[in-house]
Amino acid sequence: MAMETGEQAAVAVSHTRDDAPVVEASHLCRTFGATVAVDDVSFEIRRGEILGFLGPNGAGKSTTLRMITGLLAPDEGTAKICGIDVSHDPLAARQCFGYLPEAIPLYVEMEVADYLRFVAVSRGLKGADLERKLAKICSRLGLEQMLRRSCGTLSKGFRQRVGLAQALIHDPQVLILDEPTNGLDPRQIIEVRQLISELAQERAIIFSTHILQEIAAICTRIIVIHSGKLIADGTAEELAGEGTTDWEVVVAGAGIAPEMCVGIGMAEGVPGSPGETVHRWLSDVPPDLGPLSRQIEQSGSSLIRVGPGRETLEQVYLRLTATKGGQR
């Protein structure tokens, strides 16, 4: 007797090694007429990772997510969730992930409790297990007082919470979030960040957003897509170290000025931490630390640090999307 879809998904998850990828995108391509939306995108994600998915509008992020979740068939390439090919067995693959799209799929006339039970049943939950998971996720997201409200009467923030609840109710191994903090107030945003960090301890999370501060706050790894191509993949620190020949001198006190330092071609002085000034210049080699240190001390300042310059995530993003890829 053939296994049911839920059983297939459970077997796939149980046989997935802890260090094995739970999401595998391999050479994904998708065109719409003459427009190339996604062009040979490949990446993997493992449990414990929070992958920030960055890119300008129209870069191909949503199209890539739709192919990974089986909502859109790729022209070429494959997507696997917990080892299950999404194109070959979409129902089994969908048991392994939860998806919060940017446009939340709510039935506005249904009460929140009925909607979440409907989603849970479609995920294969039933009986006491369904009620236990419903109570757990509603408590975690602060939805207990909203269960008898119709979805259409909820504020945008509570709609977002219900969207998160439907993505999490079956306790998936992979969580795919498209703008998950959209419409939330600052306290709710902090709470969702904490929740995502907790959830990532036992699962993989893809977090797509336009808000760079969100990516910097919680993501362990960042992918940048531009004009359908994957142009960067690494931690924020790794990406900040690419493509720059900046060096920095961090100085406490106001005694030093760029023109006072010889031999390093100072370019600018910008504020750092309180009481500090960061002097940046372009150079392939570090300065002669001895003379530089003496100059700074003689001027009445203190040398805090000399080292390679570090870009902000915003600077990294602007550099990557301005210099790589073409216009679509």
Summarised one tens digit per residue, pLDDT across range 101-159 is: 888 889 999 999 999 999 999 988 999 999 999 999 999 888 999 999 999 999 888 89
Residue 290, pLDDT score:
78
Summarised one tens digit per residue, pLDDT across range 78-94 is: 999 999 999 999 989 98
Residue 121, pLDDT score:
94
**What is the bridge-based pairing of β-strands 246-252 and 302-308?**
antiparallel
Residue 321, pLDDT score:
82
3-class DSSP state of 21? strand
Residues 168-182, mean pLDDT to the nearest whole number: 89
Residue 260, pLDDT score:
61
Tokens of 5: 């879809």
100: Cβ–Cβ under 8 A, 6 or more apart, which residues?
Answer: 163, 164, 166, 167, 175, 176, 177, 178, 180
Dist. CA 65–CA 23, nearest whole Å: 11
Starting at the edge strand that comes first in sequence, how are the strands of the sheet with 229-234 ordered?
97-100, 174-178, 204-208, 50-54, 221-226, 229-234
User: H helices within 219-270, ranges in order?
Assistant: 236-240
pTM recorded for the entire structure: 0.73
Annotated domain spans of the chain:
5-239, 245-310
Residue 243, pLDDT score:
53
Dist. CA 256–CA 94, nearest whole Å: 60
Taking a C-beta distance cutoff of 8 angstroms, is the pair 312, 246 a contact?
no
DSSP 221: E
Residues 213-234, mean pLDDT to the nearest whole number: 89
Residues forming a β-bridge with 35:
32
Residues 270-276, mean pLDDT to the nearest whole number: 60
Q: What superfamily would CATH give domain 5-239?
A: P-loop containing nucleotide triphosphate hydrolases (3.40.50.300)
Taking a C-beta distance cutoff of 8 angstroms, is the pair 217, 244 a contact?
no
Summarised one tens digit per residue, pLDDT across range 14-71 is: 445 567 899 999 999 999 999 999 999 999 999 999 999 888 888 899 899 999 999 9
Dist. CA 293–CA 23, nearest whole Å: 50
Higher-confidence residue: 183 or 122?
122
